[in-house]
Chains A and B, each alone.
Chain A
Amino acid sequence: MTSRMGRRVFVIGVGMHAFGNQGIPATDMGYVAGVAALDDAGVDFPEVGALYNGYIGGGITAGVHLAKDLGLTGIPVTHVENASATGSSAFGEAVHAVAGGRVDVAMALGFDDMNRMGGLGRSGRRGLGAEDVMLPAAFFAMWATRRMHEVGSSVETFAAIAAKNWNHARENPMAQRRADHEVTVEEVLASTMISYPHTSKMACAAGGGGAAAIVASEDVARRLGGPMIEVVASQQRSETYTDGHVFLGAVIGPAQMTRDTAGDAYEQAGVGPRDLDLVQVHDAFPIEELVYYELLGICGDGEGDKLVVTGETSLGGRIPFSTDGGLTARGHPGGPTGLAQIHETVLQLRGAAGHRQVEGARTGLCHMAGAGSVCVVHILQRA
């Protein structure tokens, strides 16, 4: 089940277009991100051997049209779509293209605008069917009410996670939500109720954006002479059967999928949760970040709430999560989201994250879940 990499792979360049509701076409934001990543890597587009475009909206040919602006070099251009995990999967394909020897340099490029997309695939007629009520907001809210019942988690804990991520984004110029003041738990709780117990300030920011990453073989990375940031794990899973398996209306597969994918990644990287310096997760709602503390092995089952109270997952804490604001505040356009996590982690491992820098960061984990049943985990390490 675990994916293997035939040779070492390094991230040589990252780039982004700021996330937000700016009215800019998604492909234009993708172009900006792609050129920024090329500039960051110090390579020209003809050196890229394969391009993996991650987008959910935009139509069937958006990726190859965008490639025409980057350069008509004749390389394979492939559209990758895996719902929220689209950018992470595109990155994984680029990593494996280099790891498997297909090419020496590959680019993953994500672009999207969440406000211009349709919903999940549905059956039923006229939007009246049973699947039409199963919004992501409802699905994750049910994780939350069950957690409150089983573990005694409070709405204040959910609000504290969201406030933390809003405040992390204050230091991120690429973030969609940049508050001009310290966001408080009370402010998050007082925002509009969307799906009990989640309020609007707990829900991820939907907007547009672009993000890109370029990976290369060890030979290329050493020739370029930049910081050596290695992809030490690249894993992706779909669901396996679990007790209480929900087939219809489950926005993502069972939570166990995250534990299994992370286990694969730790094994491949030869590291454990205690070796991590920072983590990015699919925090579309704060209940997710809370349960991922446990599913990623950062703490024991039922102990995640304590990490929030003690500030261990905040910048300056033992193991900061969502250092760029996460989906909550950096934003979640769709295709670029997972690549924004790579962008953030690479900046952190280079020591170039400015005011949100995690001191001495050497190893970072990126986790994304996608609708249907997708989980992607990457571990990056400064060599």
Chain B
Amino acid sequence: MLPTDPHLFRLPAEGEDRPRLLGSYAPESDLHFWPRRKRCPVTRTPVQDVELGPKGTLYAWTFLHVPRMGKVSFGDTGGYAVGQVDLPEGVRVQAPLMGSQQDWSIGDEMALTLFPVGTDDDGHELVTFRFEVVR
């Protein structure tokens, strides 16, 4: 299993049940960022690599009825959802959501999970990340 975007997230390590987002932390401004930054965009000072997540709060969402992500469909719901999730570090992440629009409300707790989207040329399964409601 390989991540589609290894610069954005990593797979769960042994003993973990969820993936992690790869972000940056700037000590000077005390700000976190995702994806990783070359330097703090506010203070232009150095940043450190950090891992973020895997849980946050749903800020906004939509459900798309148009095909995307190649030929991959997100389940049998006739479309797929995208949301913005606020992480406790102060980072807002925009990503696909699992399920259909009856499954969540703004303010719900969300958690990162993996989703298979195909295979690479060598037959390895490719996975991306999305959020699901925590019940």
A contact residues vs B (CB 8 Å cutoff): 123-135, 137-139, 141-146, 149, 192-197, 241, 243-250
Contact = CB atoms under 8 A, between A and B. Distances in A.
Nearest to B23: A247
Contacts, number: 116
Contacts of B61: 142, 145
B7 A123 contact: yes
B65 A193 contact: yes
A152 to B, nearest CB: 13
Contact of A132 (B66, B69, B93, B106): B69
Nearest to B84: A142
10 contacts: A128-B72, A130-B5, A130-B95, A135-B66, A138-B62, A145-B60, A146-B59, A146-B60, A244-B59, A248-B93
Given A128-B69, A145-B61, A244-B84, 8 more contacts: A128-B117, A129-B128, A133-B64, A133-B82, A142-B62, A192-B65, A195-B62, A197-B62
Contacts of B72: 128
Which 9 pairs, one residue from A and one from B, show the smallest C-beta to C-beta distance?
A: A141-B62, A249-B94, A142-B60, A146-B60, A244-B92, A128-B117, A138-B82, A127-B70, A195-B64
Interface residues of B, number: 43
A149 B80 CA distance: 21
A134 B82 CA distance: 8
A194 B64 contact: yes
B84 to A, nearest CB: 6
Q: What is the interface of chain A mostly: helix, strand, loop, or mixed? A: loop
B8 interface: yes
Given A129-B128, A134-B82, A149 B106 contact: yes
A158 B72 CA distance: 30
A81 to B, nearest CB: 23
A131 B92 CA distance: 15
B50 interface: no
Given A130-B4, A133-B69, A244 B86 contact: yes
A242 to B, nearest CB: 10
Contacts of B96: 130, 133
B53 interface: no
B33 A195 contact: no
A129 B129 CA distance: 9
Contacts of B42: 241
A139 B59 CA distance: 12
A358 B70 CA distance: 46
B118 A130 contact: no
